[in-house]
Amino acid sequence: MEGSIRCAANYAPLSPLSFLERAAVVYADRTAVIYGSKRYTWRQTRDRCLMIASSLALLGVSRGDVVAVLAANVPAMYELHFGVPMAGAILCTLNTRHDAAMLSTLLKHSEAKVLLVELHFLETAQAALELISRMKSSIPLLITISDSDTVASDVMDYEALLLKAPTRFEIRWPLDECDPISLNYTSGTTSRPKGVIYSHRGAYLNTVSTLLAHDICTMPLLLWTVPMFHCNGWCLAWGMAAQGGVNICIRNVTAKAIFDNIALHKVTHLGGAPTVLNIVINSPLTERKPLPGKVVFFTGGAPPPPKVLSEMEKLGFQVNHLYGLTETYGPATTCTWRPEWDTLPVKEKVKLKALQGLHNISIEEVDIKDPITMKSVPNDGRTMGEVMFRGNAIMSGYYKDPAATKEVMKDGWLRSGDLGVKHPIGYIQLKDRSKDIIISGGENISTIEVESVIYSHPAVLEAAVVARPDHYWGETPCAFVKLKDGFSVGEKEIIKFCREKLPHYMAPRSVVFSELPKTSTGKIQKYVLREKAKALGSLSKKGMGKL
């Protein structure tokens, strides 16, 4: 249009770095980070981020380099979410539960120039570096992150680097807003690492989108129970800067730490996978404390069993259910709660709350489609299809894997690998990961549905259902169950309990009582259980088994 121009006055690449720059003036002297007795204001946080950026640059980190971090939710971890991109580099946060072998694979794949390691993980990190050196690959520069502020200035330590950082460093803003800001390896342990690339633009947009979808108002108090290494803390690391919030950092997520911090700091928000909710609802009464006000608990990462939701609400938490993938910068959909649902019976309410809902504004569309024909399934609550997304909060791609990138985004949609249905109100509901679904006698069985029923048994702490090979039915549901302390029930009772509440073919045919293996983000590792179920062997003899 005649008269339109694009210039420095009216265009800036979208970047979450601008949230910090703004927080340092708008919320200057307000608390940004709390960690034990440590407190930093937003101005201090901004200064510390700039100093680490300046130090990294001095150490030779250039635009586009990868800087990896292995740390719990400590202040340095928070600051690196800004400091690394301020140096023009790409932040690669590593899962703290990885072993040395996995770490070495990811460090090699990412070609990280620097690895920052919290002392707690130093041994594993050094083992990983040893493995890399044996592979004759170049080894990243190691910087430690110690809990203490007083470190010798000659040590390659985070705090020491801050102390001697050159001042007057100029932020290396992205040249293009689609430039990468972070690299997030998905938790799947495969021989082909999937490094999900986030851009400055996508990170900016998903951050504001999550803030809006969940009514995260100005100056919230967030307890860091979501690992920051997981989708950059669901983009909330950047979100707290956008809204001038307080980041309450903790190293270990326990019921005591949760209740203590909520009471002490008047926490308004926290989040976690259903496993974290489980920790809370199964906590001993002695560890609980009354909530100081409205506390919103985001849950995502796995569909929450309705029983878990109702227990959380009984404790006074407002549970907000979100859903997304590493590939969608974390939160992509929200089960937007309608005020008219408030008066429904609890049973109805938790069923509604367990829906994955609909897309936030950073996603243009979420849909459930037939992955072959790409036709949308009807809103009948029954027809299954694959959950697909398109929009600005979809990853730029898998690092160094153009083939996988192209495959997962073909036809203009990101394929989630999750199976679900669309309800008449339009909200989606996950039924299973496509690799988890059980096909028994030609019928699809949603393991999530079976698990929800098992969770409602009063003796059950955790449950996971996987396929067990079966000569006659092809597959049958096999449940792995962990009971609550002091409870004792047998396989038959669990099966009977399920048969009363589910179609016969959906009830488990076998139940194993054991601990459930989990990823660091609290997801149950079904592939491990599937191996165990396979090892149990086929249940029915050929031509025999009858339901």
Give the C-alpha separation, 465 to 395, whole Å.
Answer: 30
> Closest separation between CB of residue 391 and a second copy, Å?
6
Q: How far from 103 is each of 111, 129, 446, 503, CA to CA, in Å?
A: 12, 9, 33, 44
Give the C-alpha separation, 520 to 419, whole Å.
Answer: 23
Closer to a second copy by CB, 54 or 362: give it.
Answer: 362
CB 72 within 8 A of CB 122: no
Closer to a second copy by CB, 232 or 405: give it.
Answer: 405
Question: Which helix (DSSP H) or strand (DSSP E) does residue 433 occupy?
Answer: strand 428-433
CB 441 within 8 A of CB 473: yes
Closer to a second copy by CB, 232 or 392: give it.
Answer: 392
Closer to a second copy by CB, 336 or 434: give it.
Answer: 336
Q: How far from 272 is each of 138, 226, 265, 405, 521, CA to CA, in Å?
A: 36, 5, 19, 28, 8
Tokens standing for 78? 């928070």
Question: At CB < 8 A and 24+ separation, what contacts does 165-169 make?
Answer: 165/51, 165/52, 165/54, 165/55, 165/58, 166/54, 166/55, 166/58, 167/51, 167/54, 169/50, 169/51, 169/53, 169/54, 169/57, 169/86
> Closest separation between CB of residue 305 and a second copy, Å?
25
> Closest separation between CB of residue 311 and a second copy, Å?
25
Going by their DSSP bridges, the two strands 141-145 and 180-185 should be labelled as unpaired
> Closest separation between CB of residue 360 and a second copy, Å?
8
> Closest separation between CB of residue 9 and a second copy, Å?
4
Give the three-state DSSP class for 278. helix
Closer to a second copy by CB, 247 or 405: give it.
Answer: 405
Question: Which helix (DSSP H) or strand (DSSP E) does residue 117 occupy?
Answer: strand 114-118
> Closest separation between CB of residue 237 and a second copy, Å?
16
Give the C-alpha separation, 156 to 452, whole Å.
Answer: 49
Please tell me the number of Cα atoms within 13 Å of 88 on its side-chain side: 16
Q: Note the residue count of the chain.
A: 547
Closer to a second copy by CB, 25 or 155: give it.
Answer: 25
Closer to a second copy by CB, 402 or 537: give it.
Answer: 402
* Amino acid sitting at position 35: Y
> Closest separation between CB of residue 480 and a second copy, Å?
35
> Closest separation between CB of residue 126 and a second copy, Å?
28
Q: How far from 143 is each of 116, 146, 159, 241, 247, CA to CA, in Å?
A: 5, 10, 10, 25, 23
Closer to a second copy by CB, 17 or 162: give it.
Answer: 17
> Closest separation between CB of residue 413 and a second copy, Å?
5
Give the C-alpha separation, 514 to 519, whole Å.
Answer: 16
> Closest separation between CB of residue 264 and a second copy, Å?
17
Closer to a second copy by CB, 94 or 466: give it.
Answer: 94
Q: What angle do CA 350, 355, 360 make, to 5 degrees?
A: 125
Closer to a second copy by CB, 74 or 90: give it.
Answer: 90
